[in-house]
Amino acid sequence: MTSIPSVNLEDFLSEDPKRKQKFIDEIGKAYQDIGFVALKGHFLDEKLVNSLYSEIKNFFTLPVEDKRKYEIPGIGGQRGYVSFGKESAKGKKEGDLKEFWHFGQYVEDDPERAKEYPENVDVNELPAFNAVGKETYQMLEKTAKYVLRALALHLNLDETYFDNYIHNGNSILRPIHYPPISEEPKAAERAAAHGDINLITLLMGAQGRGLQVQNHEGEWLDAIAEPDELMINVGDMLSRHTNNKLKSTIHRVINPPRELWGTSRYSIPFFMHPISEMKLDVLDSCIDAENPKQFDDISAGAFLDQRLIELGLKK
C-alpha cells in the first residue's frame, strides 16, 4: 500500500445495492490493508467548515491567560482547553508541539449518561464558538455512524450493530493548533507517532503535507486529503474488537521544513468513542486457527482510562 484510498459515502447511502456493496468492499479492504481512507460525500458543508475554522482561529489567537481560564483541572483534559506541550504520545517524554480544545457529547435523552461526562465549556469571548462546535460535532458523529454501519456489514454483523454503542458515546471533537516553531525542537514533533484510542477518527484539515501514515513495511506515507475529503482511520478500540483485522495504523504530524516554521497548522479530529460499558472483547467471527485471539477482554471505559494515564492526561 503506497497511497491512501479514496471512497465516497454517497455510494453507501444510495438506493443502489451494487454501489452500497462497492463502498463496503472498498472501505473494508482499505482498513485491512492500511487503516486509513479519504472520504467524500460526508455531512459537513463548506459554510460550516469555514465557520468552524474562523472560530477556532479566533480562539487560539486569544492571549494565553484568557485561554488558560478554560483549562479545567481534574477532568483529564476531556473538555475545554489543553495548553501547549501538555500531551505526549505513549512512550514519549517530550510534549507534542500543540494546544487544543475539546468539545464532548451533547446528551439530550439520558440524564444518567449526562452525569457520566464533564460538561462542555463555554467560551465567553466568542459567542458563536460553541454553537459552531456543536453543529460540527453532530455532523461528524452522523458521518461516523454510517461508516461504522458499512464496517459492521463488512464484518458480517447486523448493519446497526454499533448504533446503540455510539449513541451518547464518549466522543470528542478536538480542534488543534500547531503554533509557529520559533526554535529548533529538541526531539519534539507536532504530533509524535501514535495510534488513536477510539473506534474511528474523522480528521478535518489534512490538506497539505504534515500527516504521515506508516504502512506495514514500516514506510511513512504522506496522507493528504482533497479539500472536500475527511481522512478517516481505525482506532485501537476497533482494532482490538476485530482482533486486528481492521488495522489501527501508527501516524504522526511531522514538523514543517524550516522555511515554513513561521506558519500555524490547524487540524480537527473527531474521535468516535462508544459508551463506556461497551465490551471490546474480540469478536468470535474474527478468531480462527490462523488468527488466534490477540487481546484480553476489557470495556471501552477501562481501556480509555488506561490510555489517558499513559498519555499523561490523567493520574
Domains and CATH numbers, the chain: 6-310 (2.60.120.330)
Dihedral pair phi/psi, residue 282, rounded to 5°:
-60, 130
Q: What cell was used for 15? A: 438506493
- pLDDT of 1 reads 47
- pLDDT of 251 reads 85
pLDDT tens-digit series, residues 202-259: 998 756 677 888 887 888 888 888 889 999 999 999 999 999 999 998 888 777 667 7
pLDDT grade for 98, boundaries at 50, 70 and 90: confident
Contact of 64 with 260, CB cutoff 8 Å? no
Query: What letter would DSSP give residue 303?
Result: H
Q: Is the per-residue pLDDT at 35 higher than 80?
A: yes
Q: Which residues, including other chains, have CB under 8 Å from residue 113's CB and lie 6 or more apart?
A: 107, 168, 275
Q: Is the per-residue pLDDT at 88 higher than 60?
A: no
- For the chain, percent of residues with pLDDT exceeding 90: 65
Q: Average pLDDT, whole number, for the chain? A: 89
Contact of 31 with 37, CB cutoff 8 Å? yes
pLDDT grade for 57, boundaries at 50, 70 and 90: very high
Q: Average pLDDT, stretch 142-165?
A: 97
Q: Average pLDDT, stretch 184-206?
A: 77
Q: In terms of Cα–Cα distance, which of 226, 206, 311 is closest to 268?
A: 206
Whole-angstrom distance between the N-terminal and C-terminal Cα of the chain? 39
Q: In terms of Cα–Cα distance, which of 36, 272, 244 is closest to 149?
A: 272
- pLDDT of 2 reads 55
Q: Average pLDDT, stretch 47-67?
A: 95
- pLDDT of 231 reads 93
**Is beta strand 176-178 parallel, antiparallel or unpaired with respect to 265-272?**
antiparallel
Our separate counts of H helices and E strands in the chain read: 9, 13
More confident residue, 277 or 188: 277
Query: What letter would DSSP give residue 191?
Result: E
Dihedral pair phi/psi, residue 100, rounded to 5°:
-155, 175
- pLDDT of 227 reads 86
Half-sphere exposure of 13 (CA within 13 A, CB side): 14
Q: Is the per-residue pLDDT at 146 higher than 70?
A: yes
- pLDDT of 207 reads 63
Task: Give the distance from CA 78 to its chain's centroid.
Answer: 14
Q: Angle formed by the axes of helices 46-60 and 129-154, to 10°?
A: 120
- Distance separating alpha carbons of residues 123 and 59, to the nearest angstrom: 8
- Distance separating alpha carbons of residues 64 and 84, to the nearest angstrom: 10
Half-sphere exposure of 164 (CA within 13 A, CB side): 5
- pLDDT of 224 reads 86
More confident residue, 299 or 108: 299
- Distance separating alpha carbons of residues 252 and 232, to the nearest angstrom: 14
Q: Average pLDDT, stretch 265-274?
A: 93
Q: Average pLDDT, stretch 10-18?
A: 96
